[in-house]
């Protein structure tokens, strides 16, 4: 009796506190997932009936129809709109149902559980604010239960409500509930999902859904309806980081109206925005909303804006705040759920849709394929339908995007092959740098001086042209060894030569830089600028730098492209690990060193290097002689 009164008082307090805000509350989208026949549709049907969202006439009609067909009535019949669903007993499409409790409005998304219909499950879950995972306590945790939980993680949902259904089939056994709950929570913890609440229910009889169960006096937790109404959505969604993907541009009279949906943050008149990929900064001049505009718009609002300046804006561009803009990149890692019978091909061009943008991309590399049953890494990288895999994806264009851990709403994408959706996934940018060009500050009182001795004068004196010989490759590939020996041999030939080594630069000029993608980018930029100064002094400068990103090596080349030569010192991770001259690979494998290239951070091989020196098959003398001869041919008069 005390337990019943406590829950009743709690419910009344919550209602009083939240009822005033019902009209202004965002409508949360609730997805229900789980193994086939574990009772998702039955649960939703029962819940809608218990909260008074089903008309009695509809209920009576379906009950009589079931009797005529000689089948037992199920609450799932309230949802199953397709005849073949009733015949097969499975849900094959995503059903959306608008409903309300005493506290707020919702949208239910009933996602299919059969493995052949996981594509629709992803479609439903991708936009969800609240996720519910249903488990049949009698059958226990199945493969699809684990796969659906992993997919929720993949889609950026990290907190779920778990319902343990069909308690009536196990005679309301507390022991059975506790064991199933323990097993599920163990798996959820392994994949990084938190369980918000666990509730034992019976969809068939309505236990603990809206009404307190008389059959489970051992359960002292809340009812499902109370958990749902108390689930805090707005706190996790509202952010000062603005994301406004451009859906279209309308010309209305003299106005150019940029329209879209606010995915995060707040926008009002005067808000400062940056548009990507153009990197242009403007202010919001007006907000165009019919019939009457408010002062401020937030997440979920669809609005039109005019800008303080007439900059070029196109569909698929991303507007953001100026403090935390998304990254611009043409290469990124991703966690992908493969939906097609077709095999992944690195030679094929796929169509990528992200936010409102559409891009042509290719799969650069399959990093690994994950078995969702046990979370083990599969031995081969063959990807089959319904597999989860980690891919490196390349685009010919720069794409504005967020890491899913930073902003889940803008970090989801899908891949299409001939207009067929073949994959869905999330963006992982932790290993790749931002390629956005930061606009330079105005140069005040700075006037560059012309040199008294020109670069041509120096070249004539030393009898060779200056040059940047950029040696790139993994740690342990032999860059420094080759550079030192070549420097010595060229010096003996009276060439003006100097070697810039990555480790030496990090002791001085770059000592304040770590090994994050952004710091690596700055390390390369500074080194390239120093190399440029050496060429102006007439030097052939040998640069030994891992420089793992193609985009940043291209920027280094662009500083003095006519003098830049990219030399790929080729050696596999396995070969370099065996050498491990500095003991770095052993530390990286043990986790002592983070962001180590080739182990926990990527290395992008040059696509068209000026010279390849393969130290896996060449000895030091061969490699040194090869580079020396190349430099003499390229730069000597």
DSSP codes of every residue in 397-421: EEEEE--TTT-GGGSEEEEEETTEE
CB of 404 closer than 8 Å to CB of 178? no
Distance from the Cα of residue 116 to its chain's centroid: 25
Strands 272-276 and 318-320, by their bridges, are antiparallel
The yes-or-no answer on residue 547 being catalytic is: yes
Residues contacting residue 314 through CB under 8 Å, at least 6 positions apart: 246, 249
Measure the CA–CA gap between 118 and 388, rounded to whole angstroms. Answer: 12
Name which of 336, 329, 305 is nearest 394 in CA terms.
329
Name which of 68, 21, 66 is nearest 45 in CA terms.
66
Q: Evaluate the CA torsion angle 253, 256, 262, 265 in order and state its sign.
A: negative
- Catalytically annotated residue among 202, 264, 547, 577: 547
What's the token pair of residue 283? 């202010």
Residues contacting residue 583 through CB under 8 Å, at least 6 positions apart: none
Measure the CA–CA gap between 515 and 157, rounded to whole angstroms. Answer: 29
Sheet with 194-200, strands from edge to edge, namely 95-100, 105-110, 29-34, 130-136, 159-165, 194-200
In 10 A of CB 509, how many CB atoms? 15
Q: Which helix or strand (DSSP H or E) is residue 484 part of?
A: helix 479-492
CB of 398 closer than 8 Å to CB of 385? no
> What are the CA-CA distances from residue 91 to residues 36, 41, 63, 499 (Å)?
8, 8, 19, 67
> What are the CA-CA distances from residue 136 to residues 110, 121, 180, 181, 496 (Å)?
16, 18, 9, 11, 77
Task: Give catalytic residues, as residue numbers.
Answer: 547
């Amino acid at each position: 009796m005390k337990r019943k009164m406590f829950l009743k008082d709690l419910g009344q307090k919550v209602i009083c506190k939240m009822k005033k805000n019902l009209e202004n509350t965002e409508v949360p989208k609730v997805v229900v997932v789980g193994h086939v026949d574990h009772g998702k549709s039955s649960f939703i049907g029962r819940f809608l009936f218990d909260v008074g969202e089903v008309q009695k006439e509809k209920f009576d009609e379906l009950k009589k129809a079931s009797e005529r067909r000689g089948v037992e009535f199920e609450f799932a019949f309230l949802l199953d709109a397709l005849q073949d669903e009733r015949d097969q007993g499975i849900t094959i499409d995503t059903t959306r149902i608008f409903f309300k409790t005493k506290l707020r409005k919702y949208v239910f998304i009933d996602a299919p559980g059969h493995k052949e219909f996981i594509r629709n499950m992803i479609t439903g879950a991708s936009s969800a604010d609240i996720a519910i995972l249903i488990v049949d306590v009698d059958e226990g945790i199945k493969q699809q239960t684990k796969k659906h939980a992993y997919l929720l993680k993949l889609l950026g949902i990290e907190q779920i409500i778990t319902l343990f259904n069909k308690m009536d089939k196990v005679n309301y056994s507390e022991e059975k509930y506790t064991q199933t709950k323990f097993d599920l929570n163990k798996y959820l913890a392994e994949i990084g999902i938190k369980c918000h609440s666990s509730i034992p229910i019976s969809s068939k009889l309505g236990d603990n859904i809206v009404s307190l169960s008389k059959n489970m006096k051992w359960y002292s937790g809340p009812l499902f309806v109370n958990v749902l109404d108390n689930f805090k959505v707005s706190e996790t969604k509202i952010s000062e980081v603005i994301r406004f993907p451009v859906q279209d541009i309308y010309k209305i009279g003299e106005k150019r109206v940029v329209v879209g949906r606010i995915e995060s943050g707040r926008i009002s008149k005067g808000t400062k925005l940056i548009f990507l990929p153009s990197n242009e900064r403007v202010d919001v001049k007006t907000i165009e909303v019919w019939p009457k505009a408010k002062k401020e718009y937030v997440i979920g609002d669809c609005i039109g804006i005019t800008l303080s300046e007439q900059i070029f804006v196109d569909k698929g561009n991303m507007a953001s705040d100026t403090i935390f803009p998304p990254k611009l990149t043409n290469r990124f890692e991703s966690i992908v759920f493969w939906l097609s019978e077709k095999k992944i091909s690195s030679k094929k061009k796929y169509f990528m849709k992200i936010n409102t943008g559409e891009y042509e991309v290719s799969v650069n590399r399959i990093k690994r394929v994950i078995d969702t049953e046990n979370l083990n890494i599969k031995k081969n990288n063959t990807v089959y339908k319904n597999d989860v895999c980690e891919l490196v994806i390349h685009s010919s264009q720069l794409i504005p995007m967020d890491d899913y851990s930073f902003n889940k709403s803008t970090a989801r994408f899908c891949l299409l092959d001939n207009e067929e959706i073949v994959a869905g996934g999330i963006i992982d940018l932790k290993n790749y740098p931002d390629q956005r060009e930061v606009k330079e500050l105005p140069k005040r009182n700075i006037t560059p001086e012309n040199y008294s001795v020109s670069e041509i004068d120096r070249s004539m004196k030393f009898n060779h042209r200056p040059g940047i010989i950029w040696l790139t490759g993994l740690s342990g590939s032999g860059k420094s060894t080759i550079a030192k020996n070549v420097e010595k041999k060229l010096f003996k030939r009276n060439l003006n030569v100097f070697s810039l080594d990555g480790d030496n630069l990090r002791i001085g000029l770059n000592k304040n830089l770590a090994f994050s993608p952004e710091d690596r980018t700055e390390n390369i930029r500074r080194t390239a600028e120093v190399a440029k100064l050496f060429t102006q002094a007439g030097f052939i400068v040998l640069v030994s730098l891992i420089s793992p990103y193609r985009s940043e090596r291209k920027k280094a080349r662009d500083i003095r492209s006519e003098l830049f030569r990219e030399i790929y010192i080729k050696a596999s991770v396995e070969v370099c690990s065996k050498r491990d001259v500095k003991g770095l690979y052993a530390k990286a494998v043990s986790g002592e060193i983070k962001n180590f290239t080739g182990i926990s951070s990527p290395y992008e091989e040059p696509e068209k290097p000026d010279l390849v020196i393969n130290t896996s098959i060449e000895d030091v003398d061969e490699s040194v002689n090869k580079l020396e001869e190349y430099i003499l041919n390229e730069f000597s008069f």
